[in-house]
Structures are given as structure tokens and as C-alpha cells.
Amino acid sequence: MNKTYPVKIGDITENLPVLKISDGMSIAFFNLHGNVALTERCAALLADRLEGKTFDVILTAESKGLQLAHCLARNLSHPFYAVARKSKKLYMQDGLSARVKSITTENMQTLYLSAHDAELIKGRRVALVDDVVSTGGSLSAMQSLVEQAGGEVAVNAAVLAEGAAAERRDLIYLAAIPVL
């Protein structure tokens, strides 16, 4: 029998599969991919939490944050959002990069921002949005990209705060989950 961890996000309860990521550490795995209703609901709830916050553009890291950022931008009537990619594409040769160590990835990764997305951020206030914040590594890498692009981080937001991330005063989130 697969173990799950129930989490209540607004009016939805999701039973997250518990996955071992190392000896002595497991996480409740949250996945928005393919779940239209959950993505739409999380974006609506997050949009409500971000009301009154001033920012011009949303930045997310691929891949699970993509659909959330899209729905959130639509709900907040933002005309665009930027994406920090996990691989450097041909059109990104003149872009920016920042290193990141994520709790769910064994090795160091690099996030890349295209010159086009860097231009969207330049001189603007940015909302960093992710599906789950745990160690804060992805947020730190995205913050570095914003600073390199000449923007300013205005707010950090996520659907879930995992472990100690729930104690962060600079993070807006919908629900907390433990590191198991």
C-alpha cells in the first residue's frame, strides 16, 4: 500500500504520495502537471493572497510552476510572465544563469533566463512563484536572475511551504506540509 499525506488547499483536499528522497527523509510529493482543476483552484487562491501586492511581472521556474504562473497571470490580468528554464535553449545564448540545489534533485542545477525574459524583468518589480518552497534554493536562484536582469523581487509565493519554509516571513503560501 502506498502511503499518502493529506493536505487541505483552500476547499480541496489532496492526498499526496509520500516519496523517499534519501535515507531518513521523505516528502509529500505535490504535482500540478495534468491536474487542470487543482491548478486553476490554486492559482485563484494564490491570486486572492497576492491582492494588494504590487508587482509587474511573475517569474517561475520550470516545470511544475509553468501552468500555475500562466493561470495566476491570467487571474491577475498580467499580460506576461517569465520562465527560468532548467536547460539552455538555442535562443538563450545571450541570457542569464544562476545555480540551484533543490531538495528533489540530486545534483546542482542551473536556471537560465532568456534575454527576452530578462528584458521583461528589467526595471520591474517581480513576483517569484513556485509550486512548493522547501529549502528556498529555487527562490534564491530566481532572485539572483531577477537581480542580474535589473529587477527587484517584490514578493515570494507558492502553493505549499514545506518544512521550515512555513516559518518564512517573506513567503505567501496556501498550505504547509512537513518534511517526513
Cα separation, 100 vs 121, whole angstroms: 20
The partner residues of 9 in beta bridges, in order of sequence, read: 12
- The pLDDT tens digits along the chain (180 residues) read 579 999 999 999 999 999 998 888 899 999 999 899 999 999 999 999 999 999 999 999 987 889 999 999 999 999 889 999 887 877 777 788 898 766 666 667 899 999 999 999 999 999 999 999 998 999 999 999 999 999 999 999 999 999 999 999 999 999 999 999
Three cell numbers, residue 22:
534519501
* 124, 95 contact by CB (below 8 A): no
